[in-house]
Amino acid sequence: MKRGDVVIVDFPYSDQTGSKVRPALVVQADSLNARLDDTILALITSSRRRMVGSNTQLLIDISTAGGKLTGLRMNSVLLCENLVTREQSLIRATLGRFPPPMMQQVDACLMAALGL
């Protein structure tokens, strides 16, 4: 598992009432992914209602070259304000990757979400 991988994982609801299998982006550093059992993920959703135009979110257009590399089937939104730590063994599959230019945008979204 590497930073920038788009994975399928059982992502918990924030109110702890359940979870949903969905795509997520691995945002944790590769050095930690190699040493730890857990990884940090950012939620990816195709729900337009979750998109609020915040600088913590990144639109993923699957018709673009970068969007095609993600392996996603629908235009989606990466929600860097919605992070979770999950055990790596719970990752069900890897769909694709965010290319380096998109990861630079992710870094900016994470900085905004974390106030860095």
Domains and CATH numbers, the chain: 5-114 (2.30.30.110)
pLDDT over 70 at 27, yes or no: yes
pLDDT-derived band at 11 (thresholds 50, 70, 90) equals: confident
pLDDT given at position 93 = 96
Residue 62: C-alpha distances to residues 10, 29, 66, 96, 110 (Å): 23, 25, 7, 12, 21
pLDDT over 80 at 107, yes or no: yes
What integer best gives the mean pLDDT of the chain?
A: 93
Phi/psi of residue 97, each to 5°? -140, 150
pLDDT-derived band at 16 (thresholds 50, 70, 90) equals: confident
pLDDT given at position 69 = 98
Phi/psi of residue 90, each to 5°? -85, -10
pLDDT given at position 40 = 97
pLDDT given at position 50 = 66
